[in-house]
């Protein structure tokens, strides 16, 4: 199958076949990262711009390593080091980057829709590395890769996503992606953190985490996003931990081989107890490892072939 | 006086109506042949933003007046959120001076409710009234303090000045950038609930009841607001209301693809709300169609959706979009003229209402059959921020006259 997408902006824009192709490609590229010389020449002569308008550790490092392992030249920009601090608009910044003829722009931005706007303006491939509360497709894909690797399938699995659904792009992209692949997704969190109409994405909602955990094959815990918090969503971190935090006790109803996932960064002791995060069911660091392979696959599929 | 007839205009005033009567008048008349066209009292848009003084790169009083004339409006009210704010007589004077040098369209300035639109203290209504403001509003900046709103209603009533309320609870709106609901959830945009509008509509109705002062509710967008206004009117309260064409023409779906031209305050709502607004127009709950013409340049609109300014231009699409309501049978032409001319004149207590003998000859001629494609590049407005670009519409103004002077005529 040929992959002829220009951009990767959200999970709605990918078909089942395209998702499978991305996951298969990622699996085959994973081995490169285990070699003594972790580099292949595949994207030699290609230029990838990493433009992170919002802070990021994992995603940014992951994309940079992925591009370098494929021998692409990489340039890294952040809001504080770009002319955006001088008042340049995103549109102008994008046009200027485009003038230097990059092959891909990896964009993280705090405004939903920013990558979509840029994608319409530039010839380069645009990969959404997280836009506001909207989408984080490469995170969803690496989560799907991790689950498929462990469980051998996605279809029919019961996936519980717990926490601040309202402010989470990870929740939205994972819900759309897993539902598309035939999994049963349940969303759980306090009512103040459940956005209106989210069930129309095909995932039922519960306000009780025990209900979501019950029989779950996978539990994804979302971060309490301190930087995006609005007032009055919950009384205290203490109460949040008690009522909605994933602990050894609240894990009780899940399947025996449940996977515990977290997109990071974690607030230990708030949404997830340390013993769960570091416990036997946790695949949190494997998610990070797969992130590199997944992003190599994305870059390879976007830039590797003729377009 | 519906029918096919002649109108004789002399010295800027309507001198005679009726074929026979017109023959006996002026010996050498200049004839405007409007046969087959609809001749209506000059349209009045009681809610526009002309951006001058302060934001002349978006619109000037002159370009705003040209846009009004092009759209069929002989009179417009302009909101006070300029820079400086129209909260004192010198700004009012300035606006009226600029308007006098524009194309002839009548401009009625609306003064601020609170000084600087800051919601802290009353502006000087007496002085502004003497300078020529026709009503008061903090449009764009809701009056959050209920006590201030109460006093504003009372104090304004003493001068016979109407208060126009932008009903919005800023705490409920918070960081919202579009209607709260499924679409916002899917797009990952922060939502503004309907209650943000209706709680303030309810409050202001209660304050109008408390003070006995008339209240006009601007840009009604929700089903709940329509219901509250309908109830208040049924109880005989002096409440009037307006909506804008985008609230009966569009829904929140216009925002999909993050189109910043569809970003407006209050936000575009659901189909249910749109239908309720249409129902409110049909049963008279909503008295007025006003454009809420809000020009913005690409500086404010070619940015991230979160960062984009609210508002869209409407002077040059308001009439054709409203005519669609006639086409679908929701309103008849008489209702439309009421909502776009007679009712605004009555609510604003203008001295001249409708096409009557002795009134200034403010006249709009409409070609109901004219089909056209909206092309923002042909607009007289300085700005292009419309979500209706490319729409196929039917019917528009072909001539606009103010006090007997033609201010727009289609070539």
Model confidence over A100-149: pLDDT tens digits?
Answer: 999 999 999 999 999 999 999 999 999 999 999 999 999 999 999 999 99
- Tracing tokens 């002062």 back to the chain, one arrives at B213
The confidence score (pLDDT) of residue A228 equals: 62
Question: Which of B178, B185, B305 is the best residue to mutate to test the A interface, defined by the most A CB atoms within 10 Å of its own CB?
Answer: B185
Assigned token pair, B201: 């509509």
Percentage of chain B exceeding pLDDT 90: 96
Number of helical H runs and strand E runs in chain A: 10, 9
The confidence score (pLDDT) of residue A282 equals: 98
Burial B167-177 (b: 16+ CB within 10 A, else e): bbbeebbeebb
Q: Is the pLDDT of residue A307 over 60?
A: no
- Cα–Cα nearest to A189, from A173, A168, A158, A174: A168
Q: Give strand pairing partners of B372.
A: B393
Sort out which chain B residues have CB atoms less than 8 A from A230's CB and list them.
174-175
How large is the average pLDDT for residues B80-92? Answer: 98
**Partner-chain residue, chosen from B175, B185, B307, that has the shortest CB–CB distance to A196:** B185
The confidence score (pLDDT) of residue A226 equals: 72
Q: Do B181 and A196 touch (CB under 8 A)?
A: yes
How large is the average pLDDT for residues A87-110? Answer: 94
**Partner-chain residue, chosen from B188, B303, B305, that has the shortest CB–CB distance to A169:** B188
pLDDT digits (tens, 9 = 90+) for A15-49: 999 999 999 999 999 999 999 999 999 999 999 99
Contact A53, A105 (CB under 8 A): no
Q: Is the pLDDT of residue B278 over 90?
A: yes
Q: Do B305 and A198 touch (CB under 8 A)?
A: no
Nearest 10 degrees: Cα torsion B32, B38, B42, B46: -150
- Tracing tokens 């960064």 back to the chain, one arrives at A265
Contact A26, A294 (CB under 8 A): yes
Q: Which residue is closest to B307 within chain A, CA to CA?
A: A111
Sort out which chain B residues have CB atoms less than 8 A from A113's CB and list them.
187-189, 258, 304-305
CA distance A134 to chain B (A): 4
Q: Is the pLDDT of residue B146 over 90?
A: yes
Q: Which residue is closest to B193 within chain A, CA to CA?
A: A196
Q: Do B190 and A195 touch (CB under 8 A)?
A: no
The confidence score (pLDDT) of residue A306 equals: 59
pLDDT band, residue B188 (cuts 50/70/90): very high
pLDDT band, residue A225 (cuts 50/70/90): confident
Sort out which chain B residues have CB atoms less than 8 A from A111's CB and list them.
304-307
How large is the average pLDDT for residues A233-256? Answer: 94
Residues B45, B87, B169, B292: which is the catalytic one? B292
Q: Do A112 and B307 touch (CB under 8 A)?
A: no
Percentage of chain A exceeding pLDDT 90: 87
- Tracing tokens 């009533």 back to the chain, one arrives at B157
Length of chain B: 411
CA distance A160 to chain B (A): 19
Sort out which chain A residues have CB atoms less than 8 A from B174's CB and list them.
230
Q: Do A90 and B304 touch (CB under 8 A)?
A: yes
Q: Do A114 and B304 touch (CB under 8 A)?
A: yes
CA distance B306 to chain A (A): 6
CA distance A53 to chain B (A): 12
**Within B302-369, where are the H helices?**
318-327, 333-337, 343-347
Question: Which of B190, B261, B304 is the best residue to mutate to test the A interface, defined by the most A CB atoms within 10 Å of its own CB?
Answer: B304
The confidence score (pLDDT) of residue A87 equals: 81
How large is the average pLDDT for residues B153-174? Answer: 98
Question: Which of A111, A118, A166, A169 is the best residue to mutate to test the B interface, defined by the most B CB atoms within 10 Å of its own CB?
Answer: A111
CA distance A235 to chain B (A): 18
CA distance A256 to chain B (A): 33
The confidence score (pLDDT) of residue A1 equals: 74
- Phi and psi at B106, nearest 5°, equal -75, 135
Mean pLDDT of chain A: 94
Contact B198, B225 (CB under 8 A): yes
Q: Is the pLDDT of residue A217 over 70?
A: yes
The confidence score (pLDDT) of residue A72 equals: 98
Q: Do B188 and A200 touch (CB under 8 A)?
A: no
The set of residues, in sequence order, having a beta carbon less than 8 Å from that of A155 and lying 6+ positions away, is: A181, A182, A183
How large is the average pLDDT for residues B294-320? Answer: 97
Contact A191, A231 (CB under 8 A): no
Which are the catalytic amino acids of A? Answer: 58-59, 86, 108, 136
**Within B103-238, where are the H helices?**
125-131, 146-158, 170-173, 182-187, 195-211, 223-234
Q: Which residue is closest to B256 within chain A, CA to CA?
A: A113
How large is the average pLDDT for residues B23-27? Answer: 65
Q: Do A131 and B188 touch (CB under 8 A)?
A: yes
Question: Which of B182, B184, B186 is the best residue to mutate to test the A interface, defined by the most A CB atoms within 10 Å of its own CB?
Answer: B186
Separation CA B110–CA B117 (nearest Å): 12
- Chain B positions with Cβ closer than 8 Å to A: 174-175, 180-182, 184-191, 257-258, 302-307
CA distance B325 to chain A (A): 30
Q: Which residue is closest to B306 within chain A, CA to CA?
A: A111
The confidence score (pLDDT) of residue B20 equals: 77
The confidence score (pLDDT) of residue A152 equals: 97
Q: Give strand pairing partners of B399.
A: B365, B409
Q: Do B258 and A117 touch (CB under 8 A)?
A: yes
- Tell me which of A218-227, B37-46, B276-285 is least confident: A218-227
Question: Which of A108, A112, A174 is the best residue to mutate to test the B interface, defined by the most B CB atoms within 10 Å of its own CB?
Answer: A112
- Tell me which of A230-239, A275-284, B175-184 is least confident: A230-239
CA distance B45 to chain A (A): 34
Separation CA B244–CA B248 (nearest Å): 7
Contact A192, A235 (CB under 8 A): no
- Tell me which of A76-85, A165-174, A282-291, B356-365 is least confident: A76-85
Q: How far is CA B79 from CA B87, B113, B353, in A?
A: 11, 11, 22
The confidence score (pLDDT) of residue B25 equals: 60
Q: Do A91 and B184 touch (CB under 8 A)?
A: no
Q: Do A113 and B187 touch (CB under 8 A)?
A: yes
pLDDT band, residue B19 (cuts 50/70/90): confident
Q: Do B302 and A114 touch (CB under 8 A)?
A: no
Q: Do A112 and B186 touch (CB under 8 A)?
A: no
Sort out which chain B residues have CB atoms less than 8 A from A195's CB and list them.
184-185, 191
The confidence score (pLDDT) of residue B87 equals: 98
pLDDT greater at residue B24 or residue B277: B277
The confidence score (pLDDT) of residue B49 equals: 98
- Tracing tokens 């008690």 back to the chain, one arrives at A242
The confidence score (pLDDT) of residue B1 equals: 58
A-B contacts at Cβ under 8 angstroms: 64
- Cα–Cα nearest to A42, from A18, A66, A7: A66
Question: What is the interface pTM, i.e. ipTM, of the complex?
Answer: 0.93
The confidence score (pLDDT) of residue A69 equals: 98
**Partner-chain residue, chosen from B185, B189, B258, that has the shortest CB–CB distance to A116:** B258
Sort out which chain A residues have CB atoms less than 8 A from B191's CB and list them.
195-196
């Amino acid at each position: 199958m040929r992959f002829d997408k220009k951009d990767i902006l959200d999970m709605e824009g990918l078909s089942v076949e395209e998702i499978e192709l991305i996951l298969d490609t990622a699996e085959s590229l994973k081995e490169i990262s285990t070699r003594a010389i972790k580099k292949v020449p595949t994207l030699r002569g290609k230029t990838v711009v990493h433009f992170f308008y919002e802070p990021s550790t994992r995603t940014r490092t992951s994309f940079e390593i992925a591009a370098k392992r494929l021998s692409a030249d990489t340039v890294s920009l952040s809001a504080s080091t770009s002319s955006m601090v001088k008042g340049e608009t995103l549109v102008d910044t994008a046009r200027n980057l485009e003038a230097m003829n990059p092959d891909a722009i990896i964009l993280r931005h705090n405004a939903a829709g920013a990558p979509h706007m840029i994608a319409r303006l530039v010839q380069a491939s645009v990969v959404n590395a997280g836009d506001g509360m909207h989408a984080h497709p490469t995170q969803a894909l690496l989560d799907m890769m991790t689950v498929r690797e462990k469980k051998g399938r996605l279809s029919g699995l019961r996936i519980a996503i717990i926490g601040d659904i309202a402010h989470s792009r990870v929740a939205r992209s994972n819900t759309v992606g897993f539902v598309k692949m035939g999994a049963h997704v349940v969303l759980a969190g306090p009512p103040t953190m459940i956005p209106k109409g989210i069930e129309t994405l095909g995932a039922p909602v519960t306000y009780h985490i025990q209900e979501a955990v019950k029989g779950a094959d996978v539990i994804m815990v979302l971060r309490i996003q301190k930087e995006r918090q609005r007032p009055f969503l919950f009384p205290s971190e203490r109460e949040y931990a008690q009522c909605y935090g994933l602990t050894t006790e609240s894990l009780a109803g899940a399947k025996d081989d449940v996977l515990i996932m977290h997109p990071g960064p974690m607030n230990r002791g708030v949404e997830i107890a340390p013993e769960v995060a570091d416990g036997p069911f946790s695949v949190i660091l494997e998610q990070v490892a797969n992130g590199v392979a997944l992003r190599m696959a994305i870059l390879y599929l976007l830039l590797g072939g003729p377009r | 006086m519906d029918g096919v007839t002649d109108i004789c205009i002399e010295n800027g005033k309507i001198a005679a109506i009726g074929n026979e009567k017109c023959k006996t008048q002026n010996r050498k008349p200049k004839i405007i042949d409007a046969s087959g066209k609809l001749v209506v009292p000059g349209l009045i848009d009681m809610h526009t933003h002309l951006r001058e003084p302060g934001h002349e790169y978006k619109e000037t009083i002159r370009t705003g007046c040209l846009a009004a004339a092009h759209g069929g409006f002989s009179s417009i009210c302009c909101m006070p959120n300029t820079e400086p704010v129209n909260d004192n007589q010198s700004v009012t004077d300035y606006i009226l001076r600029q308007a006098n040098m524009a194309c002839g369209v009548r401009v009625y300035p609306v003064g601020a409710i609170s000084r600087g639109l800051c919601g802290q203290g009353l502006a000087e209504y007496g002085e502004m009234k003497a300078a020529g403001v026709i009503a008061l509003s903090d449009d764009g900046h809701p009056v959050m303090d209920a006590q201030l709103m109460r006093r504003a209603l009372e104090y304004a009533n003493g001068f016979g000045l109407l208060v126009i309320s932008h009903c919005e609870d800023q705490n409920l709106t918070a960081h919202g950038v579009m209607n709260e609901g499924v679409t916002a959830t899917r797009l990952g945009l922060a939502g503004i609930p309907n209650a943000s509008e209706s709680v303030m509509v309810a409050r202001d109705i209660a304050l109008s009841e408390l003070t006995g002062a008339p209240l006009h509710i601007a840009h009604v967008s929700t089903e709940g607001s329509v219901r509250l206004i309908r109830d208040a009117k049924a109880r005989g309260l002096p409440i009037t209301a307006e909506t804008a064409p985008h609230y009966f023409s569009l829904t929140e779906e216009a925002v999909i693809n993050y189109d910043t031209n569809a970003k407006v305050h209050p936000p575009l709502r659901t189909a249910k709300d749109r239908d309720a607004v249409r129902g409110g127009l049909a049963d008279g709950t909503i008295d007025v169609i006003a454009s809420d013409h809000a020009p913005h340049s690409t500086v404010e609109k070619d940015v991230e959706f979160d960062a984009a300014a609210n508002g869209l231009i409407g002077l040059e699409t308001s009439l054709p979009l409203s005519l669609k309501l006639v086409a679908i049978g929701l309103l008849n032409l008489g209702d439309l003229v009421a909502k776009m001319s007679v009712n605004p004149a009555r609510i604003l207590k203008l001295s001249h209402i409708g096409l009557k003998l002795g009134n200034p000859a403010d006249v709009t001629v409409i070609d109901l059959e004219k089909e056209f494609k909206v092309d923002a590049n042909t607009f007289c407005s300085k700005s292009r921020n419309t979500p209706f670009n490319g729409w196929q519409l039917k019917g528009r103004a072909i001539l606009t006259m103010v006090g007997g002077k033609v201010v727009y005529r289609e070539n």
